[in-house]
Chains A and B, each alone.
Chain A
Amino acid sequence: MQSFEGEVKAGKLEICMEDSEMAISVSGFCLASHQCAGEENWVDSRTIYVGHKEPPPGAEAYIPQRYPDNRIVSSKYTFWNFIPKNLFEQFRRIANFYFLIIFLVQLIIDTPTSPVTSGLPLFFVITVTAIKQGYEDWLRHKADNAMNQCPVHFIQHGKLVRKQSRKLRVGDIVMVKEDETFPCDLIFLSSNRADGTCHVTTASLDGESSHKTHYAVQDTKGFHTEEDVDGLHATIECEQPQPDLYKFVGRINVYNDLNDPVVRPLGSENLLLRGATLKNTEKIFGVAIYTGMETKMALNYQSKSQKRSAVEKSMNTFLIVYLCILVSKALINTVLKYVWQSEPFRDEPWYNQKTESERQRNLFLRAFTDFLAFMVLFNYIIPVSMYVTVEMQKFLGSYFITWDEDMFDEEMGEGPLVNTSDLNEELGQVEYIFTDKTGTLTENNMAFKECCIEGHVYVPHVICNGQVLPDSSGIDMIDSSPGVSGREREELFFRAICLCHTVQVKDDDHGDDVDGPRKSPDSKSCVYISSSPDEVALVEGVQRLGFTYLRLKDNYMEILNRENDIERFELLEVLSFDSVRRRMSVIVKSTTGEIYLFCKGADSSIFPRVIEGKVDQVRSRVERNAVEGLRTLCVAYKRLEPEEYEDVCKLLQAAKVALQDREKKLAEAYEHIEKDLILLGATAVEDRLQEKAADTIEALQKAGIKVWVLTGDKMETASATCYACKLFRRSTQLLELTTKRLEEQSLHDVLFELSKTVLRCSGSLSRDSFSGLSTDMHDYGLIIDGAALSLIMKPREDGSSSGNYRELFLEICRNCSAVLCCRMAPLQKAQIVKLIKFSKEHPITLAIGDGANDVSMILEAHVGIGVIGKEGRQAARNSDYAIPKFKHLKKMLLVHGHFYYIRISELVQYFFYKNVCFIFPQFLYQFFCGFSQQTLYDTAYLTLYNISFTSLPILLYSLMEQHVGMEVLKRDPSLYRDIAKNALLRWRVFIYWTFLGVFDALVFFFGAYFMFENTTVTSNGQMFGNWTFGTLVFTVMVFTVTLKLALDTHYWTWINHFVIWGSLLFYVVFSLLWGGIIWPFLSYQRMYYVFIHMLSSGPAWLGITLLVTVSLLPDVLKKVLCRQLWPTATERTQNIQLRDRVSEFTPLASLQSWGAQSTRPLAAQCSSYSGRAVCSGWESEEYTVLPHTHPGLSHNTRYGCCRSSLETPT
């Protein structure tokens, strides 16, 4: 079951609904069901005839429905529709569509560029994608076929028949053997076990490998043979398929002989899901209710919504800008063309006459064609290859995470998982982290610490290494020994803990294939399995105190008490755990016939329901424990009279058979039952902090990331954990926004008070800092609980200023360094994430969690990270990235995220830059060729520029670049601030790159123009033509853009050398070859010997050198000056790194001792220095020492650090 002290593992509720002897009188139910049919009006249901047997006439009018067969189709395409469908899918992407249009325009109208130039890359991209998708689809087809054709055992006319799985129909009765997977969603009719249970693992569904018990329908569990089952005459009504794996509502009508039907409720405990595997049970019979694509598994495979990274968004914005530039360029040229041609002597000179058909063409048609032709001419400014490169960079780059040794957890044998590669760079942009507590910050490895019974504290003996003393009498009675009644209570308490749970005892017969997490060496102790570690810890703890839970057999729970006697309790009801009630109860009947209700749950949900018991003592103990960070549970009981029990039974049964709102009705029933309890005591369970959790949080906070803890735990426990992991420090002033406080004051007042506190301080801070007085900065921590949050989130009744509280709340949060949200329901976690996500700064959020209760926030946040934890794979499966431990987040964000961001932003900017360089000269050339769309470069150059001459260096850069070392990034988290808020893709930076591109293009073009104009550039007097001019511009360009990248590269591995010098060499070799032969397949030889002739002229060499230098010079100069005058934290680090290495005598020694003592002081200095410079640029002390940071602050010429310090006054 669940951990009551908060963490709501919603995904894994195992409702142990015991349909014991609770058959409701048939007539009574029918009445109820008719009423229900009237009020529920459930059209969304289906009726299944078990074994295709019609129900007796007149039972009820059923609407026949058509169901799909059991074919699983995960493939998208068939052999026939692959090409059209795939093409359609691909061209739905806006970029591909754009390129297709360009290509078509090129085909249709007479354009200067050959359709090949844009067709070839597009064709390449489309083909590669199609092949990849086709292959994937083929694999899916294969898997589908294997699945659809695997044999399944049916019952047909009382005999066992083998058929292919795909022929299964709804209503068929299926037999499944041990270790087989269920072929479709089945209602569990019977198993070979006498108690009608079976065990199932859902490892392939949600990743949980623990065994779950499912229960057969009460009335059919006796049918053990094929004939028996075939004789079953029943119908099932159930809801239409829903994707929720853990919810199912239905009922079965069993027609016995000629009597009225027996109606039974069906819940998810009766449902066996496709994909799950039968374990520990020889065989089961079930009836198919959902088949094929309607199974819950198939419904769950629907792909998640695509998350797009901030980089991708800015990339798309830039694309639109470039599209506008493109259109305006084409428009300008078209207009100018007609202006230019308006002079008759230019329109049609004698040497360039038009054909007759051209003269007769409509002017507007001609202008439109010209416009399209210009579009085509300049279309390379938006390169297809950028998309390919970005995709490749993301795909290949994501492997660095999976390969990372530091993020591999040897203990678990797990490494990080990358479920999407689209968000790599988003890891470098995180501003808010929402973390779960249990299992994420803590280990979720529970150890029973103590229990408190009526104020007396019991601590079981524990030997250091965690092994239990063999003699089970180890009780330390801290307080004075209790009296006789106390002893009674004490035993009742232990029994309560022994009984009130849903722990399973591992079956020793099948022991080898069950992974028991804690096999005790002591043979007497059992191995307990539960989805909640708290329960296991409690049952084990109480075992050490003398009471051992043995097993559940035939609805009797067996307990071995201190005297080694076996006590048997009949389990009557389980009021299962849920996150709203935060408690669970069992109703048991002792051998003496007394009926007890035992209830355990969070203190806040138990105390209000207690009418008797030493509440104050227990409460004080609970609070003490909570402050120490222990997870506490309270235990209470009540004795039920038989009549009372009858009422309870009726109440529950009525709720259970309801088809609609069953949950709500159950909750109401539980609410009614669990009251007037007698408090017994409380337990405390310790959950240790994960290793390096504190270190990680500290680093993340230094990196400028706000860490919020969202937990279902109670406030005290959670805040203790927060202190332990240094989220709150001694100096942190805690602000509380809790239900307790709201009881005293209205929400309005509290909020305003808090905001005043926070704002006053930040206001005074800035004043003080100018006068240089303030040195101690307050940092605030906010604690808010779920109830208060829902008050804030709730729109106000008057509606006049709804959302006002939210703003105020956000304002407070923004000024707090840490926020703790406790008592959160899973959905509230997602709400918080959403609230921050859509607040006015639109920060990038990251959610990390390990349990199913975190899935909603993982899906909601920009980046969802799952911790591959003890509580199954739900979170990991739904996350974008999964890591084994919380501590790995540090490297994930600070190193990988930083690198990815640096890399992809350079990739994007560089791509636009190099295409501006490429196309702008083409645009300029139109002014000299009468706007006739003459290309500047040869077709081969146009085609290959983006594909081969300049593609590899940037791709490899974007995979390999490390602007500072990995160690430095880890050691100095504040460097992360340098790239915050998408710093490298801001408009300013983008415009800088674009202007750099324009400047370079002007240099290439006019440099070459003035060189060519009027002068002979050869020593033999021969002249060059237009293709030589284009080639010269192109050569300068290829060298400039490649060298520009080389200048930006900080990390030169042999691969970088290889690709950068290699592509330059390739360009030269290609040009030599391309112009070296008369290519037989070309109708023109315009490039013949052009390149070689160009190189044979001295001025061309001089010109190339000069133009490359002039193009690069301003950027280098800007870099050098900015680095000197307004260095970012990263650049300082680089400088220090450099200085450090220079100061060392032997370079080898410096490398080896890097990070060791000799460099420590410097490193520490560096980090503190840059940290101070970043965070406290306002402080006058810094101001005097660091005069050069001030221009950076005021001018905002540098990207990250200074800005962030302005925006977040800390």
Chain B
Amino acid sequence: MEVMPQYDLSRLPENTALKQQKLPAHRLDLSASVVLSIFFATGGFCLCMGVILILSAKSTKELEINYTNICANCAQLREDSSNFDKECTCSVPFYLPENMEGNVYMYYKLYGFHQNLYRYILSRSNRQLLGKDIWDVKDCSPFQVSRNSTPIIPCGAIANSIFNDTITLSYNLNSSIHIEVPMLKSGLAWWTDKYVKFQNPRASDLASAFAGSAKPLHWTKPVYELDTDDPGNNGFVNEDLIVWMRTAAFPTFKKLYRRLKRVDYFAVGLPAGNYSFNISYNFPVTVFRGEKSVVLSTLTWIGGGGLFLGLTYTVTGALTLLASFAILAIHLMLKRTKKNFL
């Protein structure tokens, strides 16, 4: 239905700048000089940035050791899940040609492990991990309860599949002297995760707080025995657990495992020489055709040694400069021909 318009005779429109579309405005003018200077500036900036980034990325050192094939016998053992309680260790020797100076970080890296599957990511109970309501397992399907219907703590697919290899690094001064490299278990997870998002239930004794619960299917020990030495790293606030619970974006990912404790021999970092990783091999990867490796790496202010940012900056800078010169050339050419009538 149409409403009859009212014809009012005294409806001179208001003379405001907004209504007359005459608001004071600045016009964005892409004049040649402005455009050129912006282009040159962008190009220059990117090029410089790129060089700096590449140089600093080059200064980092990184070493990755893939132990999937080296520990093939262990891998084979783990393919059968009934052998889960059998221990299997494996030692991976390697030679570090140069000193790794500064803070050294030890990562484990998984290939082909999809931590980003939709249902996998959902399968966790945040309320439980907050320590508020540890019996809340409703979001954790299909790992909510154990076979005898006791709730699993920590429940869910993520917690269930925690990376449970134990990796230690030993420095082999010579064939007889093996020094275990001291490692820190702290500072691996985000501060906010450790102190806000993950909290143990308030109880004097963790074991009693979790009494009546089942440990996750793949775990060999319950959550309150994750780190019996350090109560601040036990239960839900165990940093390995927290790190694992932050799901990775891609099927190939690495997670921080340990930090070098810079004492004694290792005050400046890892000296060059012979080392070996002693791995207690628990985490099966060959069943899903995955691989796993250990990474040792130093960092600079821009993080690890990825060249991507530096290279992209350099390429972008170079291309922008090239484009700038092209524009300049065209501009000069047109200016000459256009002069006649402009």
Using an 8 Å CB-CB cutoff, how does the interface string of A927-969 with B read, 1 for contact, 0 for none? 0111011100000000000000000000000001010001000
Closest to B253 in A: A1023
Using an 8 Å CB-CB cutoff, how does the interface string of A373-403 with B read, 1 for contact, 0 for none? 0000000000000000000000000011011
Stretch at the interface among A89-97, A546-554, A1097-1105: A1097-1105
Give the Cβ gap from B141 to chain A, nearest Cβ, in Å: 6
Give the Cβ gap from A755 to chain B, nearest Cβ, in Å: 38
Give the Cβ gap from A968 to chain B, nearest Cβ, in Å: 11
B235 at the interface (CB under 8 A from A): no
Partner of A1019 from B23, B126, B300, B316 at Cβ < 8 Å? B300
Task: Flag if A1106 contacts B312 (CB, 8 Å).
Answer: yes
**Across-interface contacts of B123 in A (CB, < 8 A):** 352
Stretch at the interface among B110-118, B168-176, B266-274: B110-118
A1089 at the interface (CB under 8 A from B): yes
Complex alpha-carbon distance, A119 and B22, angstroms: 39
Task: Flag if B121 contacts A1103 (CB, 8 Å).
Answer: no
Task: Flag if A1188 contacts B139 (CB, 8 Å).
Answer: no
A309 at the interface (CB under 8 A from B): no
Task: Flag if B35 contacts A1012 (CB, 8 Å).
Answer: no
Give the Cβ gap from A507 to chain B, nearest Cβ, in Å: 24
**Across-interface contacts of A1169 in B (CB, < 8 A):** 341
A320 at the interface (CB under 8 A from B): no
Task: Flag if A1011 contacts B306 (CB, 8 Å).
Answer: yes
Beyond A402-B13, A1113-B316, whether A962 also contacts B21 by CB under 8 A is yes
Give the Cβ gap from B298 to chain A, nearest Cβ, in Å: 9
Complex alpha-carbon distance, A1134 and B34, angstroms: 15
Beyond A352-B114, A1022-B190, A1051-B25, whether A1016 also contacts B250 by CB under 8 A is no
Task: Flag if A1102 contacts B304 (CB, 8 Å).
Answer: no
B340 at the interface (CB under 8 A from A): yes
**Across-interface contacts of B96 in A (CB, < 8 A):** none
Complex alpha-carbon distance, A352 and B119, angstroms: 8
B30 at the interface (CB under 8 A from A): yes
Task: Flag if B337 contacts A404 (CB, 8 Å).
Answer: no
Complex alpha-carbon distance, A136 and B3, angstroms: 10
Partner of A1014 from B29, B254, B259 at Cβ < 8 Å? B254
Using an 8 Å CB-CB cutoff, how does the interface string of A1133-1145 with B read, 1 for contact, 0 for none? 0111111001000
A58 at the interface (CB under 8 A from B): no
Complex alpha-carbon distance, A207 and B5, angstroms: 10
Task: Flag if B116 contacts A1120 (CB, 8 Å).
Answer: no
**Across-interface contacts of B32 in A (CB, < 8 A):** 1124
For chain B, the count of residues having a C-beta within 8 Å of the partner chain is 108
Complex alpha-carbon distance, A934 and B130, angstroms: 24
A242 at the interface (CB under 8 A from B): no
**Across-interface contacts of B105 in A (CB, < 8 A):** 1016, 1021
Task: Flag if A1021 contacts B299 (CB, 8 Å).
Answer: yes
Task: Flag if B303 contacts A1017 (CB, 8 Å).
Answer: yes
Task: Flag if A408 contacts B21 (CB, 8 Å).
Answer: no
Task: Flag if A404 contacts B341 (CB, 8 Å).
Answer: no
B247 at the interface (CB under 8 A from A): yes
Give the Cβ gap from A1015 to chain B, nearest Cβ, in Å: 3
Task: Flag if B197 contacts A1078 (CB, 8 Å).
Answer: yes
Task: Flag if A346 contacts B118 (CB, 8 Å).
Answer: no
Complex alpha-carbon distance, A435 and B155, angstroms: 77
Task: Flag if B116 contacts A351 (CB, 8 Å).
Answer: no
Complex alpha-carbon distance, A345 and B287, angstroms: 7
**Using a CB-CB cutoff of 8 Å, which residues 288-308 of chain A contact chain B?**
301, 303-304
For chain A, the count of residues having a C-beta within 8 Å of the partner chain is 112
Closest to A1100 in B: B303
Closest to A1105 in B: B49
Task: Flag if A1020 contacts B187 (CB, 8 Å).
Answer: yes
B206 at the interface (CB under 8 A from A): no
Closest to B32 in A: A1124
Give the Cβ gap from B181 to chain A, nearest Cβ, in Å: 16
A349 at the interface (CB under 8 A from B): yes
Task: Flag if A112 contacts B118 (CB, 8 Å).
Answer: yes
Complex alpha-carbon distance, A1139 and B284, angstroms: 71
A1025 at the interface (CB under 8 A from B): yes
**Across-interface contacts of B130 in A (CB, < 8 A):** 1078
B95 at the interface (CB under 8 A from A): no
Complex alpha-carbon distance, A403 and B21, angstroms: 9
Partner of A1124 from B251, B284, B334 at Cβ < 8 Å? B334
Partner of B161 from A350, A402, A408 at Cβ < 8 Å? A350
Give the Cβ gap from B215 to chain A, nearest Cβ, in Å: 16
Give the Cβ gap from B326 to chain A, nearest Cβ, in Å: 8
Closest to A139 in B: B3
Task: Flag if A1085 contacts B126 (CB, 8 Å).
Answer: yes
A binding-site residues for B, Cβ under 8 Å: 74-76, 112, 136, 139-140, 204, 207, 301, 303-304, 345-346, 349-355, 399-400, 402-405, 408, 410, 413-415, 417, 419, 873, 877, 899, 928-930, 932-934, 960, 962, 966, 1007, 1009-1026, 1028-1030, 1047, 1049-1056, 1078, 1083-1085, 1088-1089, 1093, 1097-1099, 1102-1103, 1106, 1109-1110, 1113, 1117, 1119-1121, 1123-1125, 1134-1139, 1142, 1165, 1169, 1185, 1187-1188
B binding-site residues for A, Cβ under 8 Å: 1-5, 7, 9-15, 19-32, 35, 39, 42, 46, 49, 53, 81, 103, 105, 107, 113-121, 123, 126-127, 130, 139, 141-143, 157, 160-161, 187-190, 192-193, 196-197, 218, 243, 246-256, 259, 284, 287-289, 297, 299-306, 308-309, 312-313, 316, 319-320, 323, 327, 330-331, 334, 337, 340-342
What are 6 of the A-B contact pairs (CB < 8 Å)? Answer: A405-B12, A960-B23, A1021-B256, A1052-B27, A1097-B303, A1138-B27
- Given A932-B118, A1016-B256, A1138-B29, output 10 extra A-B contacts at Cβ < 8 Å: A355-B142, A400-B21, A402-B13, A408-B12, A415-B12, A928-B251, A932-B117, A1024-B249, A1113-B316, A1124-B32
Query: Which 4 A-B residue pairs are closest in the complex by CB-CB distance?
Result: A1015-B306, A351-B161, A1029-B249, A1026-B249
